[in-house]
Amino acid sequence: MRKGTPMVALVALMVAIFATAAYAANLIEGNNHNNTLNETNGDDDMFGLKGDDVLKANLFLGVDDVDNAYGGAGTDFVYVNDGDSDDFAAGGAGPRDRCIVDDLSEVGNGCERVRVEPPVE
Ligand SMILES: [Ca+2]
Ligand SMILES: [Ca+2]
Ligand SMILES: [Ca+2]
Ligand SMILES: [Ca+2]
């Protein structure tokens, strides 16, 4: 009886696959009111939702994180100027959304006003 051996190998393989697939960005969400959202030093997906929101994905410099910040409805300030150009800023619906970026490649839809600024030390 050697039935057990292949099953152990299969379980080990599944654990390896799951460990790889489990990686995901942090989800940081506001609500339908005005919010100020602060990023983490890891990869973040930030959603302001409705209201006039401030999304700060520029709080950690020099960590090469990948942040995706979506202002949503309302007039939002979306900051992704953290010193790398790996992030994404979208104002979304609503007038006069301002996106502050390191590079124009980070600008998504709904950014009525775009500023390229160096990160704040
Ligand atoms: Ca981050
Ligand atoms: Ca909101
Ligand atoms: Ca970044
Ligand atoms: Ca950036």
Ligand nearest to the CA of 46: 1
The mean pLDDT of 88-93, rounded to a whole number, is 98
Ligand nearest to the CA of 93: 2
- Which of 21-25, 42-46, 100-104 is predicted least confidently? 21-25
What is the domain partition of the chain in residue ranges?
25-116
Residues 31 and 27: their CA atoms lie apart, in Å, by: 13
Ligand nearest to the CA of 59: 1
What share of the chain has pLDDT > 70, as a percent? 81
pTM value is 0.81
Which two tokens mark 121?
């030390």
Mean of the per-residue pLDDT values of the chain: 90
Q: Are 61 and 80 in contact (CB under 8 A)?
A: no
The mean pLDDT of 90-110, rounded to a whole number, is 98
Task: Tell how far the Cα of 107 is from the centroid of ligand 4, in angstroms.
Answer: 10
Residues 104 and 87: their CA atoms lie apart, in Å, by: 10
Task: Tell how far the Cα of 64 is from the centroid of ligand 4, in angstroms.
Answer: 8
For 14, residues 6+ apart whose C-beta sits below 8 A from its C-beta are none
- How many CA atoms, within 13 angstroms, populate the side-chain half-sphere of residue 58? 24
Residue with tokens 């953290």: 82
